[in-house]
Structure 1
Amino acid sequence: MRISTAQMFNQNISGVLEKQSATNKLVEQLSSGKKVVTSGDDPVAALGIDNLNQQNALVDQFVKNIDYASGRLSVTESKLGSAENLAMSSRDLILRAVNGSLSDADRQTLAAEMQGSLDELLAMANSKDESGNYLFAGFNTDTQPFQFDATGKISYSGDSGVRNTMVASNVALGTNVTGDAAFMNAPNAMGDYSVNYLASQQGEFSVSSAKIADATTYVADTYTFNVTDNGAGGLDLEVLDSANNPVANLANYDPSAPVSFNGIEVKLEGTPVAGDSFSMQPQAQVSIFDTLNSAIALIKDPGKTNTPAGNSELAQLLNNFDSGMAQISDARSEAGISLKRVESYQSSHSDEKLVNNSALSLLEDLDYASAISEFEKQQQALNAVSSVFSKVGSVSLFDYI
């Protein structure tokens, strides 16, 4: 069979190019350390590599979210811890201020110290994160959540929004504690009402409980309690609504027995005397700011300190202050639990990425020993093909004529 010069030339060129391509591919693999450089190298492995890279990218995003959430929750938990400690020291100041041996000047000094604690507590509640967002404002992160209003009380300008962060597929965790949940909406220690005691009070008593006992018959209103002498050595009790209409009349009133009217049950501690009077209005929740503010006002007023009315008001304030402290403690626990959950997902993602990277290594990492051996073989083959092509290409019929 005769082979034309052109055919022989093309066959030899194809052989050389094929060996060069195989050699170049090995060089590329050796330089990159990857045995699958393009999808053409191994389509099945390339698909697996692509899927694993996408999973790793998603895990990296979750880890970034977790880092941000961890930072926010760590700051939140720290601020609430500081607020809890400050509240405890403020309670101690209240108890010191009602010591009967203190002078009015001493109480004014303690009141000033308590005012500083209130301002510091307010500053903590208005804390910001590293991005300049208010920690305890809910969704209104660019609005200062707490400030004094025109009446001298602390108002809340945030909302109850919980900012969720995706920490895993189909898993969103809250990364903030709202200001109303941490500082504003503590349960009223007495129940559903707060009490106003008159300066004229003579009996040593206080309201220990004022709750809605029957929601079906409950009538929300402001009620006034008047204790009178029944002329027989005992007491009568009259309860009036806001329109001065009697809603309860108890002859021979026993202060140790609950008073029930309009779906409300009221319990007293101690014993009132004839002429004592007090009023109560609906208030199911209290703010630790307003409680501390009221305590400061009580201690500043020399006419109420260590009086029956002042002691009764103090008992109510201390109970509400304890409720506010418990609220801060609960909010701190919530932040700590959320932080722990976030960190557990971070550990899970680290394990997931380790598994993914191991699988990637099996699919794409190059076996250098095998690759170098194959490279040497391809080099020898390329040299052999090139040598043959060079010798055959130089043969001429004229050399034999």
Structure 2
Amino acid sequence: MRISTAQIYRQNTGSITRNQQQSQEIIDKLSSGKRVNTGGDDPVAAIGIDNLNQQNALIKQYLKNIDYTKNRLAVTESKLGDAESITMSMRDRLLAAANGTLSTDERQGIADELKASLEEMQSIANYQDESGNYLFSGTNLETRPFDFNNSSEIVYRGNNNVRQAIVADGVLMDTSVSGDVAFMAAPNALGDYSVNYSSTQTGDLTIENAAISDQASYIEDTYSFSFTDNGSGGVDLTVTDSSGATVQTTPNFDPSNPITFNGIEVSFDGTPKAGDSLTIEPNATNSIFDTVQEAIALFENGDEINSAAGRSKLAQLLNNFDSGVDQIRLARGIAGNNLKAVESYANNHSNTELVNNSAVSVLEDLDYAAAVTEFEKQQLALNAASNLFGRVSSVSLFDYLR
């Protein structure tokens, strides 16, 4: 069979080119340190590497979200801790004031302390982060959550929604606590009704609990309690509704026994005197700001704090302070529990990322010893092919003709 000179050139050139290409591929692998640089290097491994890299990219995004969430929850938990401390301090100040008679200067001094603490509380509740977003305004980030209305009451202008972040596949984590939950929605310490004591009260009667006991027979209204002399050393109790109609009469009233009417149960402490009166009105929750403002008004209202009505009101305010502290603690607990949960997710993601990186390394990393050996073989083959082609190409028929 004849082999033309052109065919010899093509075959040898192709062999040299293939060896050069294979050598270059090994050089690329040695340079990158990777066994698989393209899908053609190992299609099955390339698919596995791509899947693992996509998982790691998603994990990195989750970890970024978690860092954001951790920062916000840590600040939230810290601010609520400050609010709890301030509220406890105010409550302790009121408790100390409950013992003994206060002078005018002492009353004003306590009122001034409460005002300063109220301003500090409002500052915490209106805290803005580094971006100028309000921490406790729900999702109304640019709305100042707590401000005074026309009646000089502190009202909430945010919403009850919470900001969220995706921290894992299908997992949304709250990154905030609404100001309404933290500061405005403390359960009424008395139950479902609040009490207004008459300024003319002379007995030491206080209401310990006023709550709905039977929803089926419950009639919501404002009710008045009047105590009258029964002529035998005791008092009779008459309960009337907002229209003045008598709801219930209790002869020879015994404060150790609760009374029930219109689906409401009321329990007492202390002893009333003839002529005492009070009213109860529906009120399921209390704002800690309202509680502080009521306390300030009590200490600034002349000598009321030293009266029987003032002491009864102070007892109610102390209960409301306890409820307010509990509500702030509850909100703080929500932030703390969420913070603990996102830290757990962060650890899980970090562990998964480590496992994925190890798997990618097994599939992708180059065996340098084997690669260098293969490179030397390719170089040897390339040199042999080049030398052979050089010799064959220089041979001529005329070299054998004499």
Superposition TM-score tier, normalisation by shorter sequence: over 0.9
Shift of residue 251 of structure 1? 1.7
- The aligned residue for residue 325 of structure 2 is 325
RMSD: 1.1
Residue correspondence of structure 1 range 125-164 to structure 2 within 5 A:
125-164=125-164
Shift of residue 346 of structure 1? 0.3
Q: Where does the alignment leave 5 or more consecutive residues of structure 2 unmatched?
A: none
SS of equivalent residue, structure 1 residue 271 = coil
- The aligned residue for residue 341 of structure 2 is 341
**Larger mean Cα displacement after TM superposition, 273-282 or 167-176:** 167-176
Q: Where does the alignment leave 5 or more consecutive residues of structure 1 unmatched?
A: none
- The aligned residue for residue 259 of structure 2 is 259
Q: Say if 2:76 is the partner of 1:95.
A: no
Contact 1:227 1:235 in 2 (8 A): yes
**Larger mean Cα displacement after TM superposition, 93-102 or 21-30:** 93-102
Contact 2:139 2:163 in 1 (8 A): yes
SS of equivalent residue, structure 2 residue 95 = helix
Shift of residue 292 of structure 1? 0.9
- The aligned residue for residue 53 of structure 1 is 53
Write the distance in 1 (CA, Å) between the matches of 2:103 and 2:231: 40
- The aligned residue for residue 121 of structure 2 is 121
Paired AA for residue 289 in structure 1: F
- The aligned residue for residue 369 of structure 1 is 369
Paired AA for residue 320 in structure 2: N
Paired AA for residue 279 in structure 1: T
Contact 1:226 1:277 in 2 (8 A): yes
Write the distance in 1 (CA, Å) between the matches of 2:82 and 2:376: 69
**Larger mean Cα displacement after TM superposition, 343-352 or 370-379:** 370-379
- The aligned residue for residue 314 of structure 2 is 314
Shift of residue 279 of structure 1? 0.7
Write the distance in 2 (CA, Å) between the matches of 1:386 and 1:101: 113
Paired AA for residue 76 in structure 1: T
SS of equivalent residue, structure 1 residue 361 = helix
- The aligned residue for residue 237 of structure 2 is 237
- The aligned residue for residue 201 of structure 1 is 201
Residues 169 and 284 of structure 1: is their aligned pair in 2 closer, same or farther, counting only changes over 3 Å?
A: same
- The aligned residue for residue 304 of structure 2 is 304
Write the distance in 2 (CA, Å) between the matches of 1:116 and 1:125: 14
Calculate percent identity across the aligned residue pairs.
56
Shift of residue 96 of structure 1? 3.3
Contact 1:210 1:266 in 2 (8 A): yes
Write the distance in 2 (CA, Å) between the matches of 1:63 and 1:233: 74
Write the distance in 2 (CA, Å) between the matches of 1:290 and 1:399: 116
Shift of residue 53 of structure 1? 0.6
SS of equivalent residue, structure 1 residue 34 = coil
Shift of residue 163 of structure 1? 2.1
Total equivalences in the alignment: 401
Write the distance in 1 (CA, Å) between the matches of 2:108 and 2:172: 50
- Superposed CA deviations along residues 335-393 of structure 1, whole A, max 9, x for unmatched, are 11110000000000010000000000010100111111111111111111111111111
- The aligned residue for residue 224 of structure 1 is 224
- The aligned residue for residue 279 of structure 1 is 279
Shift of residue 47 of structure 1? 0.5
Write the distance in 1 (CA, Å) between the matches of 2:198 and 2:208: 17
- The aligned residue for residue 379 of structure 1 is 379
SS of equivalent residue, structure 1 residue 117 = helix
Write the distance in 2 (CA, Å) between the matches of 1:208 and 1:136: 32
Paired AA for residue 376 in structure 1: E
- Superposed CA deviations along residues 194-216 of structure 1, whole A, max 9, x for unmatched, are 01011100101111111111111
Paired AA for residue 107 in structure 1: R
Paired AA for residue 184 in structure 1: M
SS of equivalent residue, structure 2 residue 304 = coil
Write the distance in 2 (CA, Å) between the matches of 1:111 and 1:92: 14
Shift of residue 231 of structure 1? 2.4
Write the distance in 2 (CA, Å) between the matches of 1:97 and 1:119: 21
SS of equivalent residue, structure 1 residue 305 = helix
Write the distance in 2 (CA, Å) between the matches of 1:298 and 1:138: 32
- Superposed CA deviations along residues 47-79 of structure 1, whole A, max 9, x for unmatched, are 001101100001001101100000000000100
SS of equivalent residue, structure 1 residue 120 = helix
SS of equivalent residue, structure 2 residue 237 = strand
Paired AA for residue 69 in structure 1: T
TM-score (norm: length of structure 2) = 0.97
Contact 2:101 2:306 in 1 (8 A): no
SS of equivalent residue, structure 2 residue 27 = helix
Contact 1:98 1:299 in 2 (8 A): no
Contact 2:202 2:308 in 1 (8 A): yes
Contact 1:97 1:299 in 2 (8 A): no
Residues 101 and 248 of structure 1: is their aligned pair in 2 closer, same or farther, counting only changes over 3 Å?
A: closer
Write the distance in 1 (CA, Å) between the matches of 2:391 and 2:129: 78
Residue correspondence of structure 1 range 20-99 to structure 2 within 5 A:
20-99=20-99
Residue correspondence of structure 1 range 343-362 to structure 2 within 5 A:
343-362=343-362
**Larger mean Cα displacement after TM superposition, 161-170 or 26-35:** 161-170
**Larger mean Cα displacement after TM superposition, 95-104 or 78-87:** 95-104
Shift of residue 113 of structure 1? 1.4
Contact 1:235 1:253 in 2 (8 A): yes
Contact 2:225 2:277 in 1 (8 A): yes
- The aligned residue for residue 248 of structure 2 is 248
Shift of residue 106 of structure 1? 2.2
Write the distance in 1 (CA, Å) between the matches of 2:136 and 2:242: 37
- Superposed CA deviations along residues 309-329 of structure 1, whole A, max 9, x for unmatched, are 000000000001100001111
Shift of residue 99 of structure 1? 4.3
Write the distance in 1 (CA, Å) between the matches of 2:295 and 2:207: 17
Write the distance in 2 (CA, Å) between the matches of 1:101 and 1:218: 41
Paired AA for residue 285 in structure 2: Q
Shift of residue 101 of structure 1? 5.0
Paired AA for residue 86 in structure 1: I
Paired AA for residue 28 in structure 2: E
- The aligned residue for residue 185 of structure 2 is 185
- Superposed CA deviations along residues 222-256 of structure 1, whole A, max 9, x for unmatched, are 11111111223321111111111111112222222
Contact 2:102 2:306 in 1 (8 A): no
Contact 2:228 2:235 in 1 (8 A): yes
